[in-house]
Amino acid sequence: MFKTVLLPIDLSAPSSWEHALPAALRLCQPEEGGVLHVLTVVPDFGMSVVGTYFATDFEEQAMHKVGEALTVWVADNVPDGTEVHPHVTHGRVYDQIINAADKLGVDAIVMASHRPELTDYLLGPNAARVVRHANQSVFVVRGD
Ligand code: ADP
């Protein structure tokens, strides 16, 4: 049904893939030729005061480090034999997820709903925006 799936993950939050990765693999069925795209976004500081305290090449360095971390994550978590494409982008998390889904032409996005420690809402800010604005089907995976 879904041949290509985009799985956006927050590398600092294992809850963003613990249940979502198995769901993504089941949906894209790599053994049948399905393809998994994994995206992690280095968030934008925008024009905030915080951003002015970082070196100008901070974002470039962060992208590089995150790229390395994502390669390790793929080796540690994605089963051998899966066609998997890692992607690192920079900007607003939800914008990047929506744009990547369009650019890559995926059939569906699979993402965890929110971090479990934030129990007072059911859909995190990025998940909510992706559900509302993505052009693809979005499979929201609850962790609890
Ligand atoms: P929370 O604030 O509880 O983490 P979010 O809406 O930000 O809620 O997170 C839900 C999902 O959004 C994550 O499981 C992941 O799929 C996606 N997401 C969050 N941060 C990132 C990031 N930096 N890169 C890629 N995807 C992210």
Verdict on whether the full-model pTM lies above 0.85: yes
Cβ(70) to ligand 1 under 6 A?
no
Are the beta carbons of 9 and 39 closer than 8 angstroms?
Answer: yes
Pocket test for ligand 1, best of 5, 10, 94, 117 (most atoms within 8 A of CB): 10
What residue numbers bound the domain in which 62 lies? 4-142
Indicate which residue's Cα is closest to atom 5 of ligand 1: 124
Looking at the 3D structure of the chain, how many domains does it have?
1
50 Cα: distance to centroid of ligand 1 (angstroms): 21
Indicate which residue's Cα is closest to atom 21 of ligand 1: 10
pLDDT, residue 48, reads 66
Which pLDDT tens digits describe the chain residue by residue (144 residues)? 799 999 999 999 999 999 999 999 999 999 999 999 999 999 887 666 776 777 678 778 889 999 999 999 999 999 999 999 999 999 999 999 999 999 999 999 999 998 887 766 789 999 999 999 999 999 999 986
- CATH no. for residue 126? 3.40.50.620
Q: Counting beta carbons within 10 angstroms of the beta carbon of residue 114, is it exposed (0 to 12), middle (13 to 18) or buried (19 or more)?
A: buried
pLDDT in tens, 31-73: 999 999 999 999 887 666 776 777 678 778 889 999 999 999 9
Joined tokens for residue 3: 């041949």
Cβ(9) to ligand 1 under 6 A?
yes
Q: Cα-atom radius of gyration of the chain, to the nearest Å?
A: 15
The secondary structure of the chain in percent helix, strand, coil, rounded to multiples of 5, reads 40, 25, 35
